Structure formats: C-alpha cells, structure tokens
Amino acid sequence: MSDVGAVDLKVFLKRTNKEIVIMSSCNTQLLTDVTKGSTVVLHSISAGRKLSSRLSTMGLIVGTSFKVIDRSPRGALVLAIRGTRLALGAGAASKIIVVPDC
C-alpha cells in the first residue's frame, strides 16, 4: 500500500491492435518542453506516416527510454538513445510526446 499523496510511478503497457500505448500516472509532455539532462520514455508520436516511419527507423519507438543531451535555443535537440546520439529539429521534436522516466 502506498502513502497518501504518493505518486504511482508504474508504467503499464497495453497492446491494442497494431499499436502499443503506454498508460502512466506521470504527466505527458512534448519533447520540446523537456529540460537538458532529463531521461524520458517515448509515449507517442503525433505525426504523419512518413515522419513516424522515419523516427522509428532512427530508434524512436514507443516505450523506448532516452536522455536529452543538449538543446539549442531554436529548439533542436540532441538525444542519447540506445548507445548513439540523435539530432532532431524543433519541428520533429514538437510531434513527440514523452513521459518522465519514472
């Protein structure tokens, strides 16, 4: 049993058709709002088929944990994901929804 006011930090995976959806008690946020040095988990991608496919090819798959290494003032990000670094522009990053790595 948890204490009153404690946040449930468990992340549940639920398989629905061909899509995996992460349900979490942590708040979702856009990748563009994440601070440098934070580790997050990919919740969903709110983009068209072409961008979604390109991002998944680069390793950004729902449920994947990664760290924001650097961010530019214009919104571009450098991510550490699966042992490699990945640079994303502000436009692509604004379509990615993440949850804190609880």
CB atoms under 10 Å from CB of 56, counted, come to 14
Read off the pLDDT of each residue in 91-101 and give the average, rounded to a whole number.
92
Is the CB of residue 95 less than 8 Å from the CB of residue 46? yes
pLDDT at 23 over 70: no
- Residues 47-69: tens digit of each pLDDT: 999 999 999 999 999 999 999 99
- In order of start, what are the domains of the chain with their CATH numbers? 27-100 (2.30.30.90)
Read off the pLDDT of each residue in 78-86 and give the average, rounded to a whole number.
94
User: Per the confidence metrics, is the pTM higher than 0.85?
Assistant: no
pLDDT at 9 over 90: no
Output the pLDDT for position 25. Answer: 55
